[in-house]
Amino acid sequence: AGWAYLEAGMPDAAKDHFERAASLAPDHFGGHRGLGALAMRDGNPEAAEGHLRRAYELEPDHPGVAADLAAVYVDAGHPEQAVPLAEHAAARAPRRPEFLFSLAEVYLAADDFDAAREAAEQGRARARGDDDFAGAADELRARAALLEIDARMAGVLDGAACDEVAALRAEADAALA
């Protein structure tokens, strides 16, 4: 119910649900993950890290939890902590291209351009073979990731390249909405 509230644009109701879930079932990862997602959304990386670290301790094989925690570490400027988590997420969900795109972004943050390109291209290939996935959005995410990798490798991530990457990501988000 918490995720449905969040998707419906009702973050306060989502927070109430996740807090209740974490209180009633403190040894279940769900409430902690939800609170972590809300903290990320609200720009509170310390709270996000705490909740997501607890969720990961409780459910280390959940790829979404690992990917969320990796994103927190990248945002905090610690891609070296994010890499093993993102690799774990991609390995745990081999049929889900979005985890390869997340892995590409983590590698990019760690300045491992070759690994970033490989992960983005694998995600693109996997998305093209997945009829259940939003192919148009995935194609846009792949193009954005590959463009950013190329620009950073060339040392020319200038305003125009940033604008093009941002536009592709916005278009992908809109296609998923």
Residue 118's alpha-carbon distances to 124, 149, 165, in angstroms, are 10, 10, 18
pLDDT one-digit tens code per residue, 159-170 = 565 666 666 666
pLDDT band at 140 (very low <50, low <70, confident <90, very high): low
- Supply the pTM of this predicted model: 0.75
Confidence grade of residue 157 (pLDDT, cut at 50, 70, 90): low
Q: What is the pLDDT of residue 130?
A: 61
Q: How many Å is the Cα radius of gyration of the chain? A: 17
Q: Which of 64, 54, 57, 52 is nearest to 88 (CA)?
A: 64
List phi, psi (to 5°) of 79. -65, -25
pLDDT score at 107? 92
Question: Does position 133 have pLDDT exceeding 80, yes or no?
Answer: no
Tell me the mean pLDDT in the region 27-41: 93
Neighbours of 153 (CB within 10 A): 15
Whether 138 contacts 127, CB under 8 Å: yes
Answer whether 120's CB lies under 8 Å from 149's CB: yes
What's the rounded mean pLDDT across residues 66-77? 94
Among 32-36, 42-46, 89-93, 136-140, which stretch is predicted with the lowest mean pLDDT?
136-140
Mean pLDDT of the chain: 83
Q: Is the pLDDT of residue 136 over 60?
A: no
Instruction: Encode 121-169 in three state secondary structure.
Output: HHHHHHHHCCCCCCHHHHHHHHHHHHHHHHHHHHCCCCHHHHHHHHHHH
Range with the poorest average pLDDT among 99-108, 119-128, 149-158: 149-158
| CA-to-CA dists, residue 94 to 98, 99, 100, 109, 176, angstroms | 10, 8, 9, 22, 21
